[in-house]
Each structure stands twice: as structure tokens, then as C-alpha cells.
């Protein structure tokens, strides 16, 4: 582990760490915000943020405005990069495939399968590495964790929580891709990463996963009505499926908001409080 950034922020510390990922076969960075309570020795819950297409850990830590409310609520925030990166990692000229577009799954097709294992990284390797880092720093955790994200990262938050029952105790998303198997973004990457098997696609599709979810975590979703990607996001499909099976969902359509971090920052406090309620009681 190597710390590459360190900033005082609302009585806590915003850090960026770099480490070598054996899962992804490259060096990875993640943002880590430690609230004042954590620095004072109080055990705090963990909250993972998954960013969207083209993003790195920097988008969230510099644009989301999360640190002030996280400091008040005593939440440790972790924001990993969105994909493996490096000269030896496969890539594609398009913004929606390859580096910056990991889609939080484990690829099974060449040339992606060797490096593109973001599900294993986010669910297993990063938490293990983080636990060792926090223990080394003397930071205590409660053992409870939540997950949320934006767009591709909203898809990742939903599918990882649904695919790994018991791993997360809170869940939310901003403008998530709820049914990637049905829209161009998802169809393109699923074909490249997973091949042509419809069952493999459904296993990484939130709308498909809701019906068999073992956990019924209440989901908060915010979606802007002026989002330029609304036809690819289709939040109404998630609402319909949740209504059908009785999964608790609060879908808020926010008039006039688009897909940007202006939208995310506007409702970040609500999402952090949603998670704090579940994680801290």
C-alpha cells in the first residue's frame, strides 16, 4: 500500500491509496475518507461508492460533496477505480468498453478475462486489503458495510448487493443501469465480457436478480428527469419488478436534473443518511 494523497477534510482525512491487485493484475487506486469519529478511535461502518463510465476514484472524492455529511454521520467512505488499468491491460478505443468500463463483473471472454474481474476485486480483494490497512492505522470498524454508486456504478451496487446476500447492509443508487441486458451499453459489454449466453447476462442484471433476492434491503434510487441517458437507464423497469415481488424500493424522479455530479451532489446527503440509518441505527 502506498498513500498518494492526504488532505484534511471536515475534521477527517481524505486519502488516496495505491496497491498492486493480484485479482486484476495491475496497480489500482482507491479513495478513502476517514471521518473524525474514526480518527478518534470510534468504530465506524464502511460505505463503498462505485463510479460510472470513464470515471476514476477522483470523480467521487472531488465532485460528490460527500465528506461533510460523512463526517457528521461517522461513515468511512471507499471509492475504488472503475476498472483495471495499465499498458498491459486490454482496452478499446470506445469510452464504454475496456479501461474505465469494468461494469463490476468477472469477464469470461478473451482478451478481457485475465484482468477484468471487478466483482472479485470489489467484493473480496479490496475489503481484505482495506481491513489490513485500517488495522495498521488503528482505525476500528463496526463490521457493517453498505454500497452505492452512479450509472454503471449504480448497476454495480445493485447487482453486487443482490448477488452477495449478507455482504452489505444498505444499498442505494443514482441513475443506475437497471437492466443492462436490454440496452446498448449493457449489450455491448456483456457480449464482449460474457459472450452470448443469456443466463450469464441475466446474472448481472438487477431487474433479473430482484425476484430471487435473498436479502430485501430497502433500495433508494434517485433519477433525474432531464438525464440524457434515460432511455438506457429505464428506472421504471426496476420499479415494476420491485412492485411485482414486493422488494422495498424508493424511486425518486428528480425534475430538471441530469446525469452529472451536480445531480449527485444535490442528493448525496439523503443517500448518506439512508445508509447511516441502516448501518448505525
The answer on pLDDT for 123 being more than 90 is yes
Report, as an integer, the average pLDDT of 12-33.
98
Tell me the pLDDT band of 140, cut-offs 50, 70 and 90. very high
CA-CA distance, 54 to 51, in Å (whole number)? 9
Q: Contact at 8 Å (CB) between 171 and 146?
A: yes
Tell me the pLDDT band of 74, cut-offs 50, 70 and 90. very high
pLDDT of residue 60: 98
- Percent over 90 (pLDDT), the chain: 99
The CATH number of the domain holding residue 143 is 3.40.50.1820
- Listed in sequence order, the residues at least 6 apart from 19 whose beta carbon sits closer than 8 Å to its beta carbon are 1, 2, 27, 28, 129
pLDDT of residue 281: 73
- For 207-265, write each residue's pLDDT tens digit: 999 999 999 999 999 999 999 999 999 999 999 999 999 999 999 999 999 999 999 99
**Containing domain of residue 126, as a range?**
2-280
pLDDT of residue 23: 98
Mean residue pLDDT of the chain comes to: 97
Q: How many domains does the chain have?
A: 1
CA-CA distance, 210 to 230, in Å (whole number)? 21
Overall pTM surpassing 0.95 (yes/no): yes
Catalytic residues: 151, 227, 259
188: cis peptide before it, omega within 30°?
Answer: no
**What is the torsional sign of CA 238, 242, 245, 248?**
positive
- Listed in sequence order, the residues at least 6 apart from 222 whose beta carbon sits closer than 8 Å to its beta carbon are 173, 174, 175, 252, 254, 263, 267, 270, 271
Tell me the pLDDT band of 158, cut-offs 50, 70 and 90. very high
CA-CA distance, 152 to 1, in Å (whole number)? 27
DSSP letter, residue 98: B
- Using DSSP, state whether 221 is helix, strand or coil: strand
Cell triple for residue 218? 430497502
CA-CA distance, 193 to 107, in Å (whole number)? 5
Cell triple for residue 177? 443501469
Cell triple for residue 258? 441530469
pLDDT of residue 219: 98
Report, as an integer, the average pLDDT of 149-163.
98
The answer on pLDDT for 154 being more than 80 is yes
Cβ atoms within 10 Å of 124's Cβ, excluding its own: 14
Q: Contact at 8 Å (CB) between 107 and 203?
A: no
Closest CA to 152 of 259, 267, 51: 51
pLDDT of residue 187: 96
Cell triple for residue 148? 452505492
Report, as an integer, the average pLDDT of 182-189.
96
- For 90-122, write each residue's pLDDT tens digit: 999 999 999 999 999 999 999 999 999 999 999
Amino acid at each position: 500500500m502506498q498513500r498518494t494523497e492526504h488532505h484534511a477534510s471536515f475534521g477527517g482525512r481524505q486519502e488516496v491509496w495505491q496497491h498492486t491487485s493480484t485479482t486484476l493484475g495491475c496497480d489500482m487506486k482507491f479513495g478513502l475518507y476517514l471521518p473524525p469519529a474514526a480518527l478518534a478511535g470510534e468504530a465506524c461502518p464502511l460505505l463503498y461508492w462505485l463510479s460510472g463510465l470513464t470515471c476514476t476514484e477522483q470523480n467521487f472524492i472531488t465532485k460528490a460533496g460527500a465528506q461533510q455529511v460523512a463526517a457528521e454521520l461517522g461513515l468511512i467512505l471507499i471509492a475504488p477505480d472503475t476498472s483495471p488499468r495499465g499498458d498491459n491491460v486490454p482496452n478499446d478505443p470506445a469510452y464504454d468498453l475496456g479501461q474505465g468500463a469494468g461494469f463490476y463483473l468477472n469477464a469470461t471472454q478473451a482478451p478481457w478475462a485475465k484482468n477484468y474481474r471487478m466483482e472479485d476485486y470489489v467484493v473480496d480483494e479490496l475489503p481484505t486489503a482495506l481491513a489490513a490497512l485500517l488495522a495498521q492505522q488503528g482505525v476500528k470498524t463496526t463490521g457493517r458495510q453498505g454500497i452505492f454508486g452512479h450509472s454503471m456504478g449504480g448497476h454495480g451496487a445493485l447487482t453486487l448487493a443482490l448477488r452477495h446476500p449478507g455482504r452489505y447492509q444498505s444499498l442505494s443508487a443514482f441513475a443506475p443501469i437497471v437492466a443492462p441486458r436490454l440496452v446498448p451499453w449493457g449489450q455491448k459489454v456483456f457480449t464482449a465480457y460474457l459472450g452470448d449466453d443469456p443466463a450469464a447476462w441475466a446474472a448481472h442484471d438487477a431487474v433479473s436478480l430482484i425476484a430471487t433476492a435473498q436479502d430485501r434491503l430497502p433500495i433508494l434510487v434517485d433519477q433525474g428527469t432531464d438525464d440524457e441517458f434515460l432511455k438506457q437507464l429505464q428506472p421504471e423497469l426496476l420499479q415494476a419488478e420491485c412492485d411485482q415481488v414486493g422488494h422495498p424500493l424508493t424511486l425518486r424522479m428528480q425534475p430538471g436534473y441530469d446525469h452529472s455530479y451536480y445531480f449527485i451532489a444535490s442528493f448525496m446527503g439523503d443517500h448518506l443518511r439512508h445508509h447511516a440509518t441502516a448501518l448505525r441505527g
